Amino acid sequence: MTDQLRADVRDHYARAALTVLEGPGCCGGDASGDPVFGPGLYTPDELGPLPADAIAASLGCGNPTAVADLRPGETVLDLGSGGGIDVLIAARRVAPGGMAYGLDMTDEMLTLARRNAADAGVENARFVQGEIEAIPLPDASVDVVISNCVINLSTEKPRVFAEIARVLRPGGRLGVSDVVADDDLSPADRAERGDFVGCTAGALSFGEYAAGLAEAGLAEIRLTPTHAVGDRMYGAIVAAVRPAAGPGASQRDAATAAGAGLRAARALPPAGGVILGEGPTGADPCCGSGSCCG
36 versus 149: smaller Cβ distance to ligand SAM: 149
132 versus 168: smaller Cβ distance to ligand SAM: 132
Residue in 65, 106, 200, 226 binding ligand SAM, rule: CB under 6 A: 106
Site size toward ligand SAM, by CB under 6 A = 26
C-alpha distances out from residue 188 to 201, 212, 263, 271, Å: 8, 20, 25, 19
Q: Which stretch binds ligand SAM (CB under 6 A): 44-52, 116-124, 144-152, 208-216?
A: 144-152
Residue in 55, 70, 100, 105 binding ligand SAM, rule: CB under 6 A: 105
Query: DSSP secondary structure string, 62-75?
Result: S-HHHHS---TT-E
Q: Which stretch binds ligand SAM (CB under 6 A): 57-65, 66-74, 163-171, 180-188?
A: 57-65
Which residues in the 241-280 window bind ligand SAM by CB under 6 A?
none
Task: Give the separation between CA 287 and CA 200, rounded to whole angstroms.
Answer: 14
Q: Least Å distance between CB 65 and ligand SAM?
A: 10
Q: Least Å distance between CB 272 and ligand SAM?
A: 26
Which residues in the 60-89 window bind ligand SAM by CB under 6 A?
60, 80-83, 85-86
Which residues in the 186-225 window bind ligand SAM by CB under 6 A?
199
Q: Which residue is nearest to ligand SAM (CB)?
A: 82
Which residues lie near ligand SAM (CB under 6 A)?
A: 9, 13, 58-60, 80-83, 85-86, 104-106, 109, 131-133, 148-150, 153-154, 199, 293-294
